[in-house]
Chain A
Amino acid sequence: MIAWLIFWLAAIVAIGGQIPLILAAWRLYRQPFQQAPANVPRSDGRADLGWTILTALATLALFGAAYLALP
């Protein structure tokens, strides 16, 4: 019971936390590097968004595996 409670609490925070990260990556994709100095290289916004989504999916997979391993 405690294990389930901890799992769902952690899952809500960790997976829910991906939403603001994806939104932030989207924001930077739409308005890229307004403050960056000229000598700083500009990255590909789509690739940055892609990395963020990939990280979110990997986290989802981790929690999926943890769900299957719940006692």
Chain B
Amino acid sequence: MSSKQRQFEALVRSLSGDLFRYGYWLSGDEALAHDLVQETFLRAWRALDDLRDTAAAKAWLITILRREHARLYERKLPQFSDVDELDIADEHEAHTPEFAGEENVIRKAMRGLDAKYREPLLLQVLGGFSCEEIARELNITPAAVMTQVFRARQKLKVLLSGDEHEAKLHELS
């Protein structure tokens, strides 16, 4: 097996799960997310020689996936699957019925979130990127990223608590 093939396999095995989740929340459909991730990696294989810094691999792959999503599905609005169709990735100690209920509410709220709020939040929570890195990826200012993740959290918390008044108190202007 060539070193290029080994590098590719390592990337697929370590990052395909994260990319799939990102693709799902971007496209709203598991099958589309699968196609997106597969196409992303096939494009990555052809351009693997361009990847100089392995630490930047995740950001590089997410850039490819976002472009691929824009190319293929930008005219389609996300049509999220029903709540019941989705599973939680790992059984976790905190998955008590109470928490599971809260997570379902969050998922539902995420699906209803405008893409301009949802995407920076996904990059921050799923991708682990800083506001500066998200700004570079989305080609907007770091201040705009901060505003968008602030509002995204605020909207989600409002839906969870039902207390819109309190949330509004902390809104950036």
Q: Do A and B come from one complex?
A: no
